[in-house]
Chain A
Amino acid sequence: DTAVSQTPKYLVTQMGNDKSIKCEQNLGHDTMYWYKQDSKKFLKIMFSYNNKELIINETVPNRFSPKSPDKAHLNLHINSLELGDSAVYFCASSQHGATDTQYFGPGTRLTVL
């Protein structure tokens, strides 16, 4: 069984469009995360949710809006996509907090044309 799953795996879209990436974890973890990994492999935290509540919101444009309908899901919606949004987006989860082991999804490669 997949622990942390993301859909879609690949997403190619035009500038200005709105898109969503879905994430689900079946580990029963309390905390979920969204990371962005750029072309230079720099992995940067975007958001962290604990029990459906936002606890970390790094300096991310407000075009990015996370939504956690329940503890097992954390979706990422992006409005008005820009070229610079092209990256690989990773969802992750951990039992409680950031010092616990994080389990990462397979990533979503977003390409904005």
Chain B
Amino acid sequence: TQLLEQSPQFLSIQEGENLTVYCNSSSVFSSLQWYRQEPGEGPVLLVTVVTGGEVKKLKRLTFQFGDARKDSSLHITAAQTGDTGLYLCPLGTALIFGKGTTLSVSS
């Protein structure tokens, strides 16, 4: 059975704070994607990481892929209210999305 865990499940912070969310799997990811789902909309792809140890930056968002390709982290610097949403990292070919991390950023 393939397991996917994201933590924390809920995170509520103030604008300007930094945060990190995590994605862990019992399986090796061939590639790992992070999606963000804003309230009332469908998920949208943020980034795909492919190589173990890879780091990608998207403005204030930094994505890191674990060396063993079984985990990943997303770090947000100086969070803004527009970062509010559900962050998901699906387990690729199995299409397992899980519950994600619900982030709420308040002003």
Residue from A45, A92, A106 within 8 A of B41 (CB atoms): A106
Give chain B nearest CB distance to A82 CB in angstroms: 23
**CB interface residues, B 55-107, toward A, < 8 Å:** 86, 88, 92-100, 102
The residue among B42, B48, B92 with the most chain A CB atoms within 10 A of its own CB is: B42
CA distance A48 to B95 in the complex (A): 10
**CB interface residues, B 26-72, toward A, < 8 Å:** 30-31, 33, 35, 40-45, 48
Which B residues touch A98, using CB under 8 A? 92-95
CA distance A99 to B86 in the complex (A): 20
Taking a contact as CB atoms under 8 Å apart, the answer to whether A104 and B43 are in contact is yes
CA distance A10 to B30 in the complex (A): 36
Residue from A35, A41, A48, A107 within 8 A of B99 (CB atoms): A41
Complex A-B, nearest 9 residue pairs according to Cβ-Cβ distance, in ascending order: A104-B42, A43-B97, A45-B95, A99-B92, A101-B45, A98-B93, A42-B99, A98-B95, A104-B43
Taking a contact as CB atoms under 8 Å apart, the answer to whether B30 and A99 are in contact is yes
Interface residues on A, range: 20 to 34
Give chain B nearest CB distance to A22 CB in angstroms: 15
Give chain B nearest CB distance to A76 CB in angstroms: 15
Interface contacts beyond A43-B43, A104-B43: sample of 4 additional A-B pairs, CB < 8 Å, sorted by A: A4-B42, A45-B95, A99-B31, A106-B40
**CB interface residues, A 11-51, toward B, < 8 Å:** 33, 35, 40-45, 48
Taking a contact as CB atoms under 8 Å apart, the answer to whether A43 and B100 are in contact is yes
Taking a contact as CB atoms under 8 Å apart, the answer to whether A107 and B42 are in contact is yes
Which B residues touch A41, using CB under 8 A? 86, 99-100, 102
